[in-house]
Amino acid sequence: AGPLTQRTVLDALEERYRSRGKRRVTAVHRLDRETSGVMMFACSAAAAGKIMDEWQEMVNERRYRCVCLRSPGARDLEDEGTIDLPIAYNKHDVGFVPTGKDVDSIKVSERAVTRYRVVERGAECDLVECDLETGRKNQIRVNMAHIGHPVAGDPVYGPAKAGPIKVGSAEAGPAPIDRLALHARALAFIHPFTGEEM
């Protein structure tokens, strides 16, 4: 592989298990390429099938942290709250919350529920923890942008502002964010075979 080839975590795991003569690896909980954090992989077809079939029942928690900007005119986030809005996707697979006349013309929209809590407030942005009740594509990014608090560094749902965004406290000094400031912090689930909480 050349220097421009982008390897995925799945590529690395498959290579590792293949070199040990082991089984096939399947991604059962993925993240967008720009999002960092916890992912889940299954090391057998049986495990992958069971996890995918029982995902809603076995997963107890999906927690993310993100840095959210404040759009001009947006009200400050409450200390905690719930965003319960449908998400639809356009022909380019970009999510949005249908409003006004869109509601009648949208054939398919799915309920999307994000619970959030402000962890720390800053001058221009907030550190926010989000728990997903549903798991729609780009759910946090769509929900937070819709209420006027897009995730910093978001090239799709964020502000059309050039250059990296500076965040940080006066003591630490500002640090640039030049990537999507979204991190999958925790994934809690019941093991599909042992019943153990993980």
Per-residue confidence (pLDDT) for residue 163, from 0 to 100 = 47
Q: What are phi and psi of 11, to 5 degrees?
A: -60, -45
Active site amino acids: 32
Per-residue pLDDT of the chain in tens (198 residues, 90 and over written 9): 445 467 777 788 888 777 766 667 888 887 888 899 999 988 888 888 999 898 888 999 999 999 999 988 899 999 999 999 999 998 888 899 988 766 555 567 889 999 999 999 998 899 999 999 998 889 999 999 999 999 999 989 987 553 455 555 545 555 567 789 999 999 999 998 899 999
> How far, in Å, CA of 145 to CA of 154, rounded?
10
> How far, in Å, CA of 129 to CA of 115, rounded?
8
Q: Is the pTM of this model over 0.85?
A: no
* 153 neighbors 141 (Cβ within 8 angstroms): no
Nearest to 38 by CA among 67, 6, 61, 22: 61
Q: Per-residue b/e over 45-54, b at no fewer than 16 CB within 10 Å?
A: eebbebbeee
User: Own/partner pairs for 28-34, CB < 8 Å, 24+ apart?
Assistant: 28/52, 28/55, 29/187, 31/184, 32/138, 32/180, 34/153, 34/155, 34/179, 34/180, 34/182
DSSP, collapsed to helix, strand or coil, labels residue 138 as coil
Both tokens assigned to 43: 């090391």
